[in-house]
């Protein structure tokens, strides 16, 4: 058996037997692994606090045959357990988990996705950000880090910088200006309010710690939330 140390975020936990638990972990390298935690459900287990849902911990693992991992030791670095404080917040973070699980695997390293997930949990746990905006930003940036970034820099038809009204297509992952939309027809391009367009550009271009540091309101906020969800689910 090979000895391995890594930091990771517990994304899912499944109890079985009398005292054991399987956990799904997103490692700091952005790889998703399954770990067997023997005896952690016993009352006197010193490892239990480090392998709960939404815990960021330093894990010592044994890697067996077929890429199967067994927990040897664990130390809690930070717990985001506060996100379970109410049902809506808990459901939102579970949704983050489902999306992240869909975009990561056991082979390809995607460290930026791990960082994004951690910053999203912190934004929700701190209760300083609008959860609707955190959700939208997470969806859009996750798609970008996974190789599905929309092209918002220029008009998808004429390749000129966007000026004036903006129209966005989820299917095309692109924007059109007013002139090109009229020339080509509407298709599935929908109006994108200036505030929502600026927010999307911001989310895609900011360094990771700043991804969620913006505000938006009114119809622009609703439009952003709707389009980012549709975009994530489409891809």
Q: Encoding tokens for residue 156?
A: 């998808």
Q: Encoding tokens for residue 162?
A: 């966007």
What is residue 49's predicted lDDT score, i.e. its pLDDT? 93
Read off the pLDDT band of 3 (50, 70, 90).
Answer: confident
- Per DSSP, 25 falls in state E
Positive/negative CA dihedral, 142, 101, 1, 40: positive
| Residue appearing with tokens 């960021």 | 56
Residues 6+ away with beta carbon under 8 Å from 225: 132, 133, 135, 136
What is residue 171's predicted lDDT score, i.e. its pLDDT? 95
Backbone angles phi, psi at 200, to 5 degrees: -65, -45
What is residue 178's predicted lDDT score, i.e. its pLDDT? 93
- Render pLDDT for 92-101 as a digit per residue (tens, 0 to 9): 999 999 999 9
- Render pLDDT for 225-234 as a digit per residue (tens, 0 to 9): 999 999 999 9
Whether pLDDT at 56 is above 70: yes
Between residues 186 and 117, the one the model is more confident about: 117
Read off the pLDDT band of 194 (50, 70, 90).
Answer: confident
209-235 as b/e: b if 16+ CB within 10 A: eebbebebeeebbebbbebbbebbeeb
State how far the alpha carbon of 180 is from the alpha carbons of 7, 36, 150, in Å. 49, 56, 18
Contact 118, 128 (CB under 8 A): no
Contact 14, 22 (CB under 8 A): yes
- Render pLDDT for 130-189 as a digit per residue (tens, 0 to 9): 999 999 999 999 999 999 999 999 999 999 998 889 999 999 999 999 999 999 887 899
Read off the pLDDT band of 30 (50, 70, 90).
Answer: very high
State how far the alpha carbon of 156 is from the alpha carbons of 185, 206, 233, 234, in Å. 13, 22, 22, 19
Q: Which of 57-71, 78-92, 205-219 has the lowest mean pLDDT?
A: 57-71
What is residue 1's predicted lDDT score, i.e. its pLDDT? 59
What is residue 215's predicted lDDT score, i.e. its pLDDT? 96
Whether pLDDT at 18 is above 70: yes
Query: Mean pLDDT in the chain?
Result: 94
% residues pLDDT > 70 (the chain): 99
CA 73/CA 8 separation, integer angstroms = 13
Read off the pLDDT band of 125 (50, 70, 90).
Answer: very high
Stretch 23-34: mean pLDDT: 96
Whether pLDDT at 45 is above 90: yes
């Amino acid at each position: 058996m090979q000895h391995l140390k890594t930091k990771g975020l517990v994304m899912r936990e499944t109890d079985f037997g009398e005292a054991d638990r399987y956990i799904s972990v997103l490692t700091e390298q952005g790889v998703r692994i399954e770990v067997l935690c023997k005896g952690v459900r016993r009352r006197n287990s010193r490892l239990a606090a480090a392998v709960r849902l939404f815990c960021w911990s330093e894990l010592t693992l044994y890697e067996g045959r077929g890429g199967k991992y067994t927990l040897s030791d664990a130390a809690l670095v930070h717990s985001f357990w506060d996100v379970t404080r109410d049902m809506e917040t808990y459901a939102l973070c579970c949704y983050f988990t489902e999306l992240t699980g869909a975009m990561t695997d056991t082979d390809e390293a995607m460290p930026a996705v791990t960082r994004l997930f951690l910053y999203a949990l912190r934004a929700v746990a701190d209760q300083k950000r609008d959860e609707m905006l955190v959700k939208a930003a997470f969806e859009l940036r996750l798609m970008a880090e996974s190789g599905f970034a929309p092209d918002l820099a220029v008009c998808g038809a004429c390749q000129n910088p966007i000026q004036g009204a903006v129209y966005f297509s989820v299917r095309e992952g692109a924007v059109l200006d007013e002139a090109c939309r009229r020339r080509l027809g509407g298709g599935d391009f929908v109006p994108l309010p200036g505030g929502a367009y600026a927010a999307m550009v911001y989310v895609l271009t900011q360094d990771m710690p700043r991804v969620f540091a913006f505000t938006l309101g009114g119809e622009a906020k609703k439009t952003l939330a709707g389009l980012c969800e549709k975009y994530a689910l489409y891809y």
